[in-house]
Amino acid sequence: MRIIVEGPDGSGKSTLCSELSRRLDMAVSHSGGPIKNEEELHKRIANQLSKNNYIIDRCSVFSEPVYGLTLRGYSLLSRKDFEIYVKKMVIDGWIVIYCKAKGPINKGKEWKNEEHMQGIINNRDQIYNGYSVVMNNAKRIGLYIHEWTWTNYKIKDFPIIYNWMEWVIK
């Protein structure tokens, strides 16, 4: 099984990944933070999409267009490459969960630097809008995306995950 949990900072990705990991007995792979150049981007994506029986906490196919455009002013991932990678996810049967909730930003986690963290905090609405566009584009290409919000599925009510996982896995 291959699962990608995607979404903006503070949306509950890491919390959901931890719970899925515990319940499914699968390892979690984290994205590794901001990308420096196109070569690094494609190596990271190839590594992420080659994994089996993994949960990926943020995939660069989705995050680079959002954070690259927002924080750098351009994305290192072309639209053509985005489409190629998304089609590969469809063919390979990836389960994609899009965390949409706008939760608190974890200022205690390790950030690239203070400027990077402030950039994310200052641009939250743009990041959320960017994710909406990117995920809708992936849907148009044919990827089914499960939308997850903690307001619909309270963290204390994790039995809902069992029912949801049974449905997703079938």
The architecture that CATH gives domain 2-169 is 3-Layer(aba) Sandwich (3.40)
d(CA 41, CA 126): 22
Residues 6+ apart with CB under 8 A from 9: 105, 106, 120, 127
d(CA 170, CA 167): 5
Q: What is the pLDDT of residues 45-96, one digit of tens each?
A: 999 999 888 999 999 999 999 999 988 999 999 999 999 999 999 999 999 9
Contact between 54 and 26 under an 8 Å Cβ cutoff? The reply is yes
Q: What is the pLDDT of residues 108-144, one digit of tens each?
A: 555 556 776 777 778 888 999 999 999 999 999 999 9
pTM over 0.95: no
